Amino acid sequence: MTAKRKRTRPQPSAGNQRLQLHRQVARESLQRLLASPLSSGITVLVIAIALFLPALLYLLNSNLNAGLVGAADNTRLTIYLQSNISNTNEQAVSEYLLSKFGSESIEYISEEQAMESFSRSAELGDLLTSLPDNPLPAAFVVSPQLDDDTEIENLILELETMEGVELVQLDRLWLQRLQALSDLLTLLSRALALVVLVGLLAIVGNTIKLLIEHRRQEIQVIKLIGGSNSYIARPFLYTGLMLGLTGGLCACLLIGLMGLNLATAVAELSDLFGGNWRLNGLDALQYLTLVLTGGGIGWLAALIASYRNIATIEP
């Protein structure tokens, strides 16, 4: 027996064999998909659009966040001083700020400077100069490099209790509003992703179910010969996977095309507003995630559809 074995051709290893079988099944699935290009194409398109929408929302949100991070660096703390502040108190505030921040991030605006810049920027200049006293207070403007919100809060509390300080203002409210908006967008994109997931499972699942129904007779024959449910399901799983992957690829293409078209427009808009925002696209890993998400959803939908429909077909 063993001697006989040795003379036959070398047998491929079990792993190789399995790979070969899978490749064959995959090729079969692909041929079947290409045999009905219209319905396959429509399914792919639906998957692509369904994946495109949450990806777009994610992209908008991440761009907004990138802008917010940039803006957070520009957080300004303005410490308005009382008009009758004594030199020693002013010195104390100045030293305290110097101990917390480098001298280069602290700016002192005297009452006169405030008056000057205000009258330059606003039409109220004449009105202000006609007043007997300068109503504008002197102020320190600090750009704190603090990421921690509580640290800033503590700083503000500290400063507010200091002698001669009128008001401490954190130039941040609009940032917080944008942050809240961004949080809302995150929530929305997650909800949308969930809806899309369920919707895609239903749509791809239905496509696979129709394919199974279409091959009912064939499935019956295979079952008569001894094909198990999982053997019969295998080509359908590949079909789902291929539809999903192709849909994911198309979604990437849509995102990429949109990026190309919008990039210049966004840059122009940003330049008009004197900003330097640029539209950030997805990176390679995110594109890959999008494709794999599509594939995963397609496969899962096929798995559910096969599980539910193949077992009920009996010869």
Partner 1 sequence: MIKFDNVSKQYEAGRDALSQVSFDVAKGEMAFVTGHSGAGKSTLLKLILAMERASNGQVMVDGINLNRLARAKIPKHRLQIGTVFQDHQLLFDRTVGDNVALPLQIAGFPYQDTQRRVRAALDKVGLLQKEKLMPEKLSGGEQQRVGIARAVVNRPRIILADEPTGNLDPELSNEVMKVFQQFQSVGVCLLVASHDRELIARLNCRTLTLEQGKLIGDG
The site for partner 1 (CB under 8 A) is made up of 9, 11-12, 17-18, 20-21, 24, 218, 221-229, 231, 314-315
- The nearest distance, CB 24 to partner 1, in angstroms, is 7
Residue with Cβ nearer partner 1 (132 or 226): 226
C-alpha to C-alpha distances, 210 to 40, 203, 205, 311, 314, nearest whole angstrom: 12, 11, 9, 15, 17
Residue with Cβ nearer partner 1 (118 or 231): 231
Residue with Cβ nearer partner 1 (226 or 274): 226
Residue at 310: amino acid letter:
I
Residue with Cβ nearer partner 1 (108 or 231): 231
Residue at 166: amino acid letter:
E
- The nearest distance, CB 30 to partner 1, in angstroms, is 15
- The nearest distance, CB 3 to partner 1, in angstroms, is 20
Which strands sit side by side in the sheet containing 77-81, from one edge to the other?
A: 106-109, 139-142, 77-81, 165-170
Residue with Cβ nearer partner 1 (172 or 223): 223
Residues 6+ apart with CB under 8 A from 289: none
CA atoms within 13 A of residue 253's CA, in its CB half-sphere: 11
- The nearest distance, CB 10 to partner 1, in angstroms, is 11
Nearest to 30 by CA among 207, 303, 243: 243
- The nearest distance, CB 12 to partner 1, in angstroms, is 5
Residues 55 and 255 sit within 8 Å (Cβ to Cβ):
yes
Residue with Cβ nearer partner 1 (66 or 222): 222
- The nearest distance, CB 208 to partner 1, in angstroms, is 18
Residue with Cβ nearer partner 1 (189 or 239): 239
- The nearest distance, CB 27 to partner 1, in angstroms, is 12
As a whole number of angstroms, the distance between CA 236 and CA 299 comes to 9
As a whole number of angstroms, the distance between CA 235 and CA 28 comes to 7
Residues 212 and 219 sit within 8 Å (Cβ to Cβ):
yes
As a whole number of angstroms, the distance between CA 32 and CA 39 comes to 11
